[in-house]
Structure 1
Amino acid sequence: MYNREEGKGRCDLIIQAHDEKKTSFIIEFKYFKEDKKDFEKALDKLSNEAIQQIKDRRYDYDLKGKVIYIGLAHHGKDVMMKWEEKVYI
């Protein structure tokens, strides 16, 4: 587990498997600061934006095997998490 700067910036967390047959994870956190009644839609949007940021900034640079992108948005104790799986050969 480490935080490297590759692609176009630095992600929040990478857990890289030493063996390409195992799964690596890229996690991007987002925090919703405003206090709105309809924050669930905002958390949904932020979790999608987190995954898109992983793709756009190429945080998966040089990873091999299966990689799970995780976008995690939170507001207080409320959390929305989305994930996508990619396989690199």
Structure 2
Amino acid sequence: MAANELEIDNNSLLDNIDERQVEFTAEVDGDEQEFAVQYDVLEALSGDAPDGDAIDMFNRFVDTISEAALSALSRGNGTGLVIVSENDLE
């Protein structure tokens, strides 16, 4: 069954520069799940590579990222860190 609702915990947003991703925790249909959005996703959405502003970029496109995160979750097993890639964008 696919998840229907994802609520991002804004206090959990972390710009992991070394891994080139923004990490966050979200509640998905009542359960907590860890996600990471690759910088490539942010660049695809904004047209610019993150340069110290990845969290701001994330917040600008949060609705699209939420949908992509649900897509990434649906193709995985829901355990561990779910990586959101460009392939998850519609």
**Category of TM-score, reference length = shorter chain:** under 0.3
Higher share of residues assigned strand: 1
Higher share of residues assigned helix: 2
Q: Which has the larger radius of gyration?
A: 1
Structure 2-normalised TM-score? Answer: 0.25
